[in-house]
Structure 1
Amino acid sequence: MLTITPIYAALIAILFVALSVNVIRVRRSGKISVGDHGDKAMIKAMRIQANCAEYAPFALLLIAMVELQGAGGLLVNLLGLSLLAGRLLHAYGFGRTPQIIILRQIGMLLTFAAILVAAIAGLFLAL
């Protein structure tokens, strides 16, 4: 039974909705109905949201599998916290003007760490 992963899935879903609302806000302010019209703010908002959509579901799936395979709560929480912190830092660092590159990089590092550790743990637990 999943008891920990749903907490991180919910928190990341809230982050994703916030990023989506930002895309809508930028669309409205720039009067951009479809696409990005070459607008740098629109491109940035879209990429921040898309980056979250590209990495978070896959990572959450791996974390859920690790939890379902019986991993301890400490590992599952560390994976979830790493993913959540990574997504928050990436979005914040990327979203600033000028970008805070180190936060963006740390965010990706934490996201990749969560994915890789969850993948390795999943393999270990399955074997």
Structure 2
Amino acid sequence: MIVPITATYAAVVALMMLALAYRVTTFRRRDGIGLGDQGSRDLQVAVRAHANLVEYGPIFVLLLFVGEMNGVGANGLHGAGLLFVLSRFAHAWGMSGGAGGVHPGRILGIVGTWLAIVVMVALLIWNLTQFRF
């Protein structure tokens, strides 16, 4: 069985991870830092922006996959997927723009990320109530 909705969002999340990883590498090369962060605020922020996506991306893509495999409606999957992707862009912008501090993009990003995960969990639970075991 193919899962085109999951494939779409998994590809977008993977590209976002690569872009954020490239940003980390850029700061490492610029500052000559191979391991750790040696107190570089730019590098610390870039590492955390990347790591935050690595922490949330896989569980979201897994929830999306399970939902698609179990027959959750495409509109719900796309709604949660778009919310997640837009929230992750907002979070990355907020991390960069706020230098790791408080920034509206960072706040919107994490709240949207959590909401997208909650939406997927709710869709999965609702979907399960529709099955006769």
Are 2:95 and 2:106, in contact at CA under 8 Å, matched by a contact in 1? yes
Out of 106, 109, 120, the residue aligned to residue 107 of structure 1 is 109
User: For 2:62 and 2:98, how far apart are their aligned partners in 1?
Assistant: 32
- Structure number, greater radius of gyration: 2
- Consecutive unaligned residues in structure 2, runs of 5 or more: none
| Residues 1:48 and 2:59 are matched in the alignment | no
CA RMSD for the aligned pairs?
A: 1.3
Cα separation, partners in 2 of 1:110 and 1:97, compared to 1, 3 Å: closer
User: For 2:8 and 2:123, how far apart are their aligned partners in 1?
Assistant: 20
Length-normalised TM-score, structure 2:
0.90
| Equivalence for 1:37 | 38
Length-normalised TM-score, structure 1:
0.94
Q: Deviations over 1:2-28 (max 9, x none)?
A: 121110110111111000000000000
- Consecutive unaligned residues in structure 1, runs of 5 or more: none
Query: Segments of 4+ in structure 1 off by > 6 A?
Result: none
Q: Deviations over 1:78-122 (max 9, x none)?
A: 011011001111001111255671111111111111101111211
| Equivalence for 1:61 | 62
| Residues 1:80 and 2:81 are matched in the alignment | yes
**Deviation at 1:61?**
0.6
Amino acid at match of 1:38: G
